Structure formats: structure tokens, C-alpha cells
Amino acid sequence: MIRSFKTEFQKIKHRHFFLLLLGCLFLFFIWMAWSLRDMSADQTGSGYFHILYELPLLNTIILPLFIAVIASRLWDTEHKGNTFKLLYTLQDKKYIYSAKSLLGGIFLLFLAIGECILIRLLGQIFHITQAFPTNHIILFFATTLLTSLFLFFLQEIITFLFENQIAALAVGLIGSFLGLFSLFFSRGLQQFVIWSYYSLLQTVGMNWDESTRIISYYEMPISLKHFFLLLIFVILSGILGKYLFNRKDI
């Protein structure tokens, strides 16, 4: 397993994966900085809730396609060079999927940590006076990572089953659009859109008063039913991916 992981890591060293990560975080930073630019002194008292309300929405729209790109780039070397048979002679087949999945999981872990650091950084830059909501940040980190892992495992399956990587990228793009439109669904319908779990599990809500044109934020309890359902989905999708890869014909 360690040998397989080192091999996969060597493959991506010059494929600019961390530039993709930094690019995604920079996009989030620019979007949130624009959103916070006109925040008044009174609004800084709920500034972190503003960020925690908007970031899950951004994740819902952007990360499905981003994760599809990551999964595709992890597997496209084998497809382009038709090297699956060669890999099977050099490494134990059961470790190839595990090594790639572990590498993708580590990358998504860095992404989730990066978003949490970004929240703190935005708070410092825009002088947010609200106390840092540690419990909400922990839940945001957990739900972001779990949702990303679930989507990554599903994208991996599509990626290694279809030689043409357009299929995987198309699913990611469709997921981004469905995630966007799911924001207008009721929670009862939203739970059936797997790309919407970033926002479905958010812990901050928003009220808009049309008469005063004032926005206020409030805390929401996380849906434990959907959280544990997501955890089960992550485990099952990982097991399914390994099973399908081990049965893959070359």
C-alpha cells in the first residue's frame, strides 16, 4: 500500500494539483471579499455567520465540477497510456484504487482545512467583531469534507469505468447545475440531490426583511439524520468503488 501511494504521489508531482487547490481557494476568497466589501460596522457583529451562510452555497455550485477535475486527473494517466495492465504487473491490484483514493482524500482534506483558514483570514481582513464560532467551523469542516469525499468516490467510479474523461467532467458539470437549482427546492426534495449536501447540512440560516431591507442570520441545528446518512454514503461509495475496480476488465 505504501509503495502504491508513493507511486501515485510521484505521478502527480508535476500535474499542478496544489495549484488547482490554491486557485479554488483564491476564487472563494475573491467571491467572499466582494460579498463583504460593503459590510457596515453593525454587520461585523454577525460577519462569520455571513461567511458560513455563503460558503456552503459556493461549495454547492463550484466543488462538484472541481472534484470531477481532480478525480479525472488522478486517473487519466492510465487511460491515456493504456497502462492498467502494466500497473497490475507491478503493483497489487487491490492497492491501486486505495492509493488513488487516499491521495484524493488527502487533497480534499487540505481543501476543507484551507476553507476554514480562509474564514479566519476574512475575519481578520474585514475586522469582524463576532466571536469566532468554533462549533460552527468544526461542523462546516466535517460536512464539507464528507460531502466532498462522497462526490469524489462517485466521480472515481465514473472516471475509471469510462475511458473518455468527458463523461466524468459532464457529470461534475451537471452536478454543479443541479446543486445550484436545488437551492430553490424544499429540504424534502433537496435531500435527494447528492450535490446539495454542502448547503443541506449548513448550520446558519438567513432572514431577509423586505420592509427594512435588513438581513439577519440565525443558528440552525445540523440535521443529524442527513449527516449520518451522508457518512453511510461515503463508506458505501468507497466500498463500491473498490469492488468495481477490482472487477474491471483490462
Domain of 131 in residue numbering reads as 2-246
| Predicted local distance difference test score (pLDDT) of residue 13 | 65
Selected residue with higher pLDDT from 205 and 136: 136
- Residue 200 half-sphere exposure, CB side, CA atoms within 13 Å? 27
Residue 104 has pLDDT above 80, yes or no: yes
Q: Crossing angle for the helix pair 47-81 and 93-125, nearest 10 degrees?
A: 150
Kindly state the average pLDDT of the residues 23-32.
Answer: 94
For residues 217 and 206, the answer to whether their CB atoms sit within 8 Å is yes
Residue 239 has pLDDT above 90, yes or no: yes
Q: Residue 112 — φ and ψ, nearest 5°? A: -65, -40
Cα distances (Å, whole numbers) of residue 41 to 50, 192, 240 = 14, 40, 51
Selected residue with higher pLDDT from 39 and 159: 159
Q: How many domains does the chain have?
A: 1
Residue 157 has pLDDT above 70, yes or no: yes
| Predicted local distance difference test score (pLDDT) of residue 116 | 96
Q: Calculate what percentage of the chain has a pLDDT beyond 70.
A: 82
- Return the biggest CA–CA distance within the chain: 70
| Alpha-carbon span 234 to 134, nearest angstrom | 25
Kindly state the average pLDDT of the residues 62-75.
Answer: 89
Kindly state the average pLDDT of the residues 65-78.
Answer: 84
| Predicted local distance difference test score (pLDDT) of residue 87 | 58
The pLDDT tens digits for 159-216 are 888 877 788 889 989 988 888 888 888 777 888 888 999 999 999 988 877 666 778 8
| Predicted local distance difference test score (pLDDT) of residue 190 | 84
Q: Residue 186 — φ and ψ, nearest 5°? A: -70, 160
For residues 162 and 72, the answer to whether their CB atoms sit within 8 Å is no
Kindly state the average pLDDT of the residues 35-42.
Answer: 77
Average pLDDT of the residues of the chain = 85
Q: Give pTM, 2 decimals.
A: 0.89
